[in-house]
Amino acid sequence: MIRIFSKKLWNEAKGKFEPGLLAISDDKIESLTFGKPEGVAAKQKIMDFGSLYIGPSAIDLHVHARDFNESHKETFETCEKSALKGGVSRVVCMANTRPRLDSVAQILEFFKRTKKLRARFIPFAAATQNLEGIEPTDWNALLSMPIAGLSDDGKPILDEKILRAALLATKKKSKFVSLHEEDTRISKCSALHLSETSMRLGIEGSPSSAESSLVQRDLKIAADVKAHLHLGHISSAESVALIRKAKRRGQSVSAELTPHHGFFTVEDAESLPLSQLSQFKVCPPIRSDEDRDSLGKAVGDGTLDCFASDHAPHSRFEKNLPIDQAMHGLISLEYFFPLYNELRIQNAWSWKSFFAASFSRPAALLPHLKGIGKFSKGFEASFIMFDPDLEQVLRFRASKSSNTLFEGKQIRGCIFQHWISGKKVYDLAEKS
């Protein structure tokens, strides 16, 4: 039995931090006892973490872990290193690997390669062969495996019939479809948000309607078939308004915020040297300040209810190109917790909203994983010890790639230790 005391232990029932004792037995939380230490277990050996905060580690529903034939960008091991440091215990991986995760054999290979890692890796299977949106994969076989569900992320599912059928197939197996909402007939290359900035820089912009038009269509399709709808990386105020309305009608929807859409606006692209402009290329694009503000508010009122990194490593020869030729995406997983913590402070989100989006809501979407989703007795002992006010300058070291807009940024929030299933997996004091 391990006993840990902190003056700031997360009390999920009350939605606040309180002095308390966390007892761990094997991989589970044995008990959480709130009150002063002398009152709870004075005679037992206790690890005292003083004023460091303790709360549940995160579940990231949107990671491009690469590996396989793109191990020059990232391997499962380097991705895990980022996750452990960033406070993420479960890494849900997108299917746009090479080869694609579109067959039983490839999913089995995924599990084989990730099974020994301390962070848990869970794949999505591709909804369609080679993510082409034309031929469905073998849903029956794939959805019987311990995967998160189906996703063609990186590409939209434009064929309504396929989406309708995929929603029904996942619903039957208590899994979900994660959608990349981009009408590629509107967005074209999608290098930057259509704005005065894109025009000033002479780059073809992509309007918000490329996203919101599909969000609108898919909310309707999901409502028709009475299936849950999960929307990846939401970027625009119009989409937020549609999701908010749907939730008010009682529709079952979940939606992600990424750190980059929470931090930046398209105008920030103008402060980058032209040689680094392609670092700003993400999909969907980073939009206006009204869009960013609406995303911040949407987490506060539960409209956006999942934090997700959309960690997307790329090598220099694929990213350091003119913006129209460069790959989409950036890395952020290594600082998952600090980045969202800084956004929490800036947007005045409650801790309750924070842990709902980092932990309990994503866990609720993965019902086949038993024993996660609550920070209470009998549940998995995966947690972080952190100081939410300590400032640090971000230095990305864990990933094989370095494509990010966050390098050198000064933000608040620092993880001291990360534990998964009752074992310490990261310690700031033992820096590698």
Q: Would you name the residues annotated as active-site residues? A: 310
Segment contacting Zn ion by CB under 5 A, of 147-155, 163-171, 266-274, 397-405: 147-155
Nearer to Zn ion, 70 or 153 (CB): 153
- The DSSP secondary-structure symbol of 127 reads S
Residue 15 C-beta: closest distance to Zn ion, Å: 32
Mark the segment that binds Zn ion (CB under 5 A) among 84-92, 173-181, 314-322, 359-367: 173-181
Q: Cis link prior to 284 (omega < 30° from 0)?
A: yes
Residue 70 as a binder of Zn ion (CB under 5 A): the answer is: no
Which residue lies nearer to Zn ion by CB, 60 or 153?
A: 153
Pair type for strands 16-25 and 28-34 = antiparallel
**CB of 84 or CB of 282, closer to Zn ion:** 282
> And the tokens for 178?
């994660």
Residue 25: DSSP 8-state? E
Q: Residue 53 CB: number of other CB atoms within 10 A?
A: 23
Which helix (H) or strand (E) covers residue 103, if one does?
Answer: none
**What's CA 48's distance to the chain center, in Å?**
31
235: tokens are 């970027």
* 126-134, 149-157, 223-231, 268-276 -> range binding Zn ion (CB under 5 A): 149-157
| Distance (Å, whole) CA 183 – CA 187 | 6
Burial of 243 per CB tally in 10 Å (0-12, 13-18, 19+) = buried
CB of 166 to Zn ion, least distance (A): 16
Which span (71-79, 174-182, 223-231, 272-280) binds Zn ion, by CB under 5 A?
Answer: 174-182
* Stretch near Zn ion under the rule CB under 5 A, chosen from 75-83, 145-153, 205-213, 400-408: 145-153
> What is the rounded distance in angstroms from the CA atom of residue 163 to the CA atom of residue 165?
5
Kindly state whether residue 153 participates in binding Zn ion, applying the rule CB under 5 A.
Answer: yes
Query: Applying CB under 5 A, which part among 47-55, 177-185, 223-231, 396-404 lies near Zn ion?
Result: 177-185
Smallest separation, CB 184 to Zn ion (Å): 12
The minimum distance between CB 210 and Zn ion, in angstroms, equals 12
CB neighbours (10 Å) of residue 263? 20
Select from 186, 187, 245 the least CA-distant residue to 220.
Answer: 245
- Shortest distance (Å) from residue 286 CB to Zn ion: 14
Based on CB atoms, which residue is closest to Zn ion, 179 or 237?
179
Closest to Zn ion by CB, 153 or 380: 153
Q: How far apart are CA 162 and CA 175, in angstroms?
A: 16
Shortest spacing between CB 232 and Zn ion, in angstroms: 5
Nearer to Zn ion, 57 or 401 (CB): 401
CA distance 289 to 207: 14
Q: Is 256 in the site for Zn ion (CB under 5 A)?
A: no
How many CA atoms, within 13 angstroms, populate the side-chain half-sphere of residue 223?
15
Q: Which two tokens stand for residue 10?
A: 């997360």
Distance CA 60, CA 212 (A): 23
Q: Are strands 192-193 and 205-206 parallel, antiparallel or unpaired?
A: parallel
| 180: contact with Zn ion by CB under 5 A | yes
Shortest Cβ contact with Zn ion: which residue?
Answer: 180
CB 74 within 8 A of CB 66: yes
Number of residues that bind Zn ion (CB under 5 A): 2
CA 288 from centroid of its chain's CA atoms: 22
Q: Which of residues 380-419 bind Zn ion (CB under 5 A)?
A: none
State the number of CA atoms in the 13 A half-sphere of 154 facing the CB.
23
* DSSP code, position 76: H
CB of 96: closest distance to Zn ion in angstroms?
Answer: 9
The least distance separating Zn ion from the CB of residue 63, rounded to whole angstroms, comes to 11
- Which CB, 153 or 318, lies closer to Zn ion? 153
User: Which among 90, 257, 201 is positioned nearest to 193, based on CA atoms?
Assistant: 201
Using rule CB under 5 A, residue 230 touches Zn ion: no
Residues forming contacts to Zn ion in the complex (CB under 5 A) are 153, 180
